[in-house]
Chains A and B, each alone.
Chain A
Amino acid sequence: MKPWLPNSLNALPAPAPDSALVGKVVSARLVRGLAFLFTVLTILLLVATASAQKKSSCIDCHAKLDDPRLSAPAKLFDNDIHRARGLSCNDCHGGDPNADTRESAKDPAKGYLGKPKTLDIPAYCGKCHSDASLMKKFNPSLRVDQEREYYTSVHGKLLKAGETRVATCISCHSVHGIRAIDDPLSSVYPSRVAETCSKCHASADYMSGLGIPSDQYAKYKTSVHAQALYDKQDLSAPTCNDCHGNHGATPPGIASVANVCGQCHARQAELFQTSPHKAAFDQKDLAECITCHSNHAINKPGDQLIGTTPGTLCINCHTSGDKGFIAAGQMRSRIDELIASLGRSTEILNRAERAGMEVSKPKFELKGATDALTHARVLIHSSSTAEVEKVIGPGLEVSTKGYEAGTAALAERKFRRQGLAVSLVFILFLAGLVYLKLRQIEARQAAEQ
């Protein structure tokens, strides 16, 4: 069998007849060759390792500076998502992070860009974030239209017009300490969005001259949406960007507000489109949804909003005797009727349960009436008494059945107690009889003895 040898050795002259001597020469050469190869590989590995540890003179110098404005970026960058993805200062700012002097590091000839002007920030970030093929290397699922969308926003339009007070990328995402949006410490994490927007929008001074109020944040915090987000920690609850958009932030207009609300409240929005209110609102140029529910301070809606009594919303437009006034009154009274019926049924079933009666089945069935009530409250948006009646009627039937079951359970309890009283009389009578018989027998036995 032919022994394996390196090609160079294979090319050697044919071995001399003294095979022992030839063997010794070959193995000495082989050892030397392998030793050389090992040394070269080790040096290459060391060089590669040294070059892999990227030097950053930017961070080294900035971290040591006394001025916090200049040292903060170097410190904040530790937690930046870009750093985590292997990027460094020069990837945004240009320059030479390997240079040892300030002049050399910030040499424009080496592509140093420095701090961008506010007007240039969207394009500065967009260099990478608008480049689909580049972003695929880092985060293929990330959108690349943020810059384009930004310029459709109120912020973007104003920026283009030269207004530099507006929000740019870094106003919301922060700078140097940018975190992923699903990081709870990120300034754009759902529970922190409103606070981030409020930095500008809640400041009357800052917003002066822009023609918009500055109480949105204060109002939002009182809303049912904020309660869900902050109190219940429901991250799906809407915050600023869910209605206004984020990169393309813009206030929804009168015509589109219903679409915005309809993203979540789809059934209500759909019913409203079929209601007589739709044409009336269009005609009067009223915004849908928010005319009744308000916008930022959306309180938990309740039955008190509908009806014809003072404090209800319907009387803001409808007057006594008109069609809508009558419909509002009817819907409210039917809903009140169902609520009252449900209350009575629940109360009697609870009473029966406390008395030890098994009423879990009727209690479960009563949920049908609760569902009907919820459905009726949604159907109000159709403004049709007939539609509302379609669920109120069956709901009342279910509730009445629950009440009857509760009454029957309490009647059964009464029957049981009466039956027990009769039975106990009979049982005691029987025990008494046996006792008397025993006495009689024992008396007879005593007499016999």
Chain B
Amino acid sequence: MRIQSLVEWFDARLSISTLAAIARKKEVPLHRHSIWYYFGGMTLFLFVVQVVTGILLLLYYRPSSEGAFESVQFIITEVKFGWLIRSIHSWSANLMIATLFIHMFSVFFLRGYYPPREITWVSGVFLLFIVICFGFSGYLLPWNKLAFFATKVGTEIAGVVPVVGRPILRFLRGGDDVTGATLTRFFGFHVAVLPATATVFLGIHVLLVQMHGMSVPPNLLGQPIKKMKFVPNFLLRDLIGWILAIGVLAALAALFPWELGEKADAFASAPEGIKPEWYFLFMFQTLKLLPAKILGFDGEVIGIMAFNIVAMLLFIVPFVDRSDNRRRRLIFNVLGVLALLYIVVLTIVGYVT
């Protein structure tokens, strides 16, 4: 009786019953492409894992060139289960980027951005870039040799952009070189700026998904489509996926603990064959393959500008690809397949060479 009155007390103030009613009403379309719906939720789950493990790492991590490497070393050798938390944080980050890519391409091919979901797509693209920034900034934090030189190369690439390149490079590095100042600001981006920004866009993204519901691929429209209740049917399926993801993360952490490597040394020479993280590899490989000069312009600059343009184009996809134009839909399908092939092939080439 007391519990009942407590629920009523909260309900009167928070409208829990209304939210519960919305949740009960929410349905998920069932069709042959329904499997792709799980990747958004999986990405969100891995993001939560990142937040939790990241906060735990913060308890010991010291963001300075003198203490960063040593503190991570301390976490993985001295702190109870520190190795597990650090390895899960690293593995989960990579899995999250993988599921995010899968989610993005599935939404692209299934036209999940058709009206009225354009803003959902745009917020998703923002989240993609935020996550990539998370990856880039987080990679430097252990202050090891590989991370140091990868950051050096990465920020140098940013510096190549005409006019704004140099100021961007100096802003990212906190000076002309990668130093302790770079580490401090990357730490700031990683644990304050990016999480705050991500929370805003994630809120918008998830809210819009709830508002508009799951989209049905246009080629299935007009056909009778079965539906599944979100709560509990879909959510429990999600939950099974999340539980299994924890198992995969635990296995990866225990069997393939994330390496720490050697401490960064600004005076040491760069390790041979240095490569960025896998999700940057296709871009890195492109820049390597480009000729030094293209039509009199610096090849590297052209490459970077091209990637920037593609990134900008991602935002306007929903506004260019209209549902009423079949020909344009075909062009976008071809472009999507080509982009996917390009990323896969260049990533493999990057690893092999």
Contacts and interface: CB of A to CB of B under 8 A. Distances in A.
Contacts of B254: 416-417, 419-420
Contacts of B84: 416
Interface string A421-433: 0011001101100
A361 interface: yes
B343 to A, nearest CB: 29
B233 interface: yes
B229 to A, nearest CB: 8
A427 B236 contact: no
Contacts of B229: 445
Interface string A342-384: 0000000000000011101100000000000000000000000
Secondary structure class of chain A's binding surface, majority of residues: helix
Contacts of A356: 255-257, 259
A434 interface: yes
Contacts of B240: 431, 434-435, 438
A441 interface: yes
B202 interface: no
Nearest to A423: B250
Given A431-B244, A438-B236, A358 B250 contact: no
Contact of A417 (B73, B246, B255, B260): B255
Contacts of A438: 232-233, 236-237, 240
A441 B262 contact: no
A265 interface: no
Given A360-B73, A361-B77, A434-B240, A427 B257 contact: no
A437 interface: yes
A424 B250 contact: yes
B260 A420 contact: no
A424 B251 contact: yes
- Interface centre among B77, B83, B239, B251, by most A CB within 10 Å? B77
A442 interface: yes
Nearest to A353: B259
Contact of B76 (A358, A423, A434, A445): A358
- Interface centre among B73, B76, B251, B259, by most A CB within 10 Å? B251
B268 to A, nearest CB: 15
5 contacts: A358-B260, A360-B73, A424-B247, A428-B247, A431-B240
Interface of A: 356-358, 360-361, 416-417, 419-420, 423-424, 427-428, 430-431, 434-435, 437-438, 441-442, 445
Interface of B: 73, 76-77, 83-84, 229, 232-233, 236-237, 239-240, 243-244, 246-247, 250-251, 254-257, 259-260, 262
